[in-house]
Amino acid sequence: MSGNLQLLAGTLARAKRENRAALIAGMTAGFPTVDEGIAAIQAILNNGADIVEVGLPHSDPVLDGPVIQAAGDIALRGGVRIADVIRTVREAYQATGKPVLVMSYWNPIDRYGAERFSRELAGAGGAGCIVPDLPVQESALWRESAARHSLATVFVAAPSTTDERLRELAAAGTGFVYASSLMGVTGVRETLSTAASSLVRRIRSTTELPVCVGVGISDAAQAAQVAGFADGVIVASALVKAILGASDAAAGAATVAELTAELSRATHRQGD
């Protein structure tokens, strides 16, 4: 049984003590290949990311924008399997000792088996799972399996989420609450939605869990803006895009390392 739910909580608490937001970086497993993806994730964790979310590629990524979709397509064409995602978690955790989450749609987990997935994720050192399309009222099977293996269950709240539903997901979730900064799919955007800070305030009125903001955070300036009001800053598409645009895997790893360092510096609040 994994104690990495506690590691996740401790990581977020340490960032708060240090007067900064935690940097949560996302990267698709198996992209560009399994080994190259692992190298990229380790570069991210070694250059300032506090936590990483490993994306489980899915054939019907309805909530993902074109950047994450492209990475998922590459991974799926390369034959990535859930075993490769678990291996990615294991190697990232063993190399860095930092919390590693999986970001997945519910269908692949359900087909694999919630108990089997939870057991293998915990055995690999994983800290939990973000399942953006799993409604709270249909989540009991997953939450029971996750709890047995000391895994966090992170729910996603959107600006359109009602106050009643916010209370439900905050009560059911563990680790932190993922606040989507805007309606729509993931992706790089030039400006940050003004709805994010309002959503964070609404979530905080329902729970003492940390609130981390993602979707649409593209650069250090936007990360700094979010760090001013959230407990964590979640960046995925910008990092994936850097690898998509790189000439080779080594260049991609170097580029994401540099971008991660910039983002990490931006999460330190003014005066720190």
Domain boundaries along the sequence of the chain: 4-266
The pLDDT tens digits for 141-170 are 999 999 999 999 999 999 999 999 999 999
Which tens digits make up the pLDDT trace of 40-57?
Answer: 999 999 999 999 999 999
**What percentage of the chain reaches a pLDDT higher than 90?**
85
pLDDT tens column, 199-245: 999 999 999 999 999 988 889 999 999 999 999 999 999 999 999 99
96-105 pLDDT, tens digit per residue, is 999 999 999 9
Look up the pTM and report it: 0.93
81-85, 194-198, 260-264: least confidently modelled range: 194-198
- Give catalytic residues, as residue numbers: 53, 64
User: Would you state the pLDDT for residue 183?
Assistant: 46
Instruction: Provide mean pLDDT across the span 4-21.
Output: 96
Give the amino acid at 72: G
Q: Examine the pLDDT at 63 and tell me if it is beyond 50.
A: yes
The C-alpha atoms of residue 58 and residue 14 are separated, in whole angstroms, by 33
Range 96-124 burial, b when 16+ CB lie within 10 A, else e: bebbbbbbbbbebbeebebeebbbbbbeb
Among the listed residues 96, 15, 14, the one whose alpha carbon sits nearest the alpha carbon of residue 54: 96
> Could you confirm whether domain 4-266 is CATH 3.40.50.970?
no
Give 183 or 33, the one with higher predicted confidence: 33
In this structure, are strands 232-235 and 177-180 parallel, antiparallel, or unpaired? Answer: unpaired
- Per the prediction, the chain carries an average pLDDT of 92
Q: Specify whether the backbone of 42 is left (phi greater than 0), alpha (psi in -120 to 50) or beta.
A: alpha
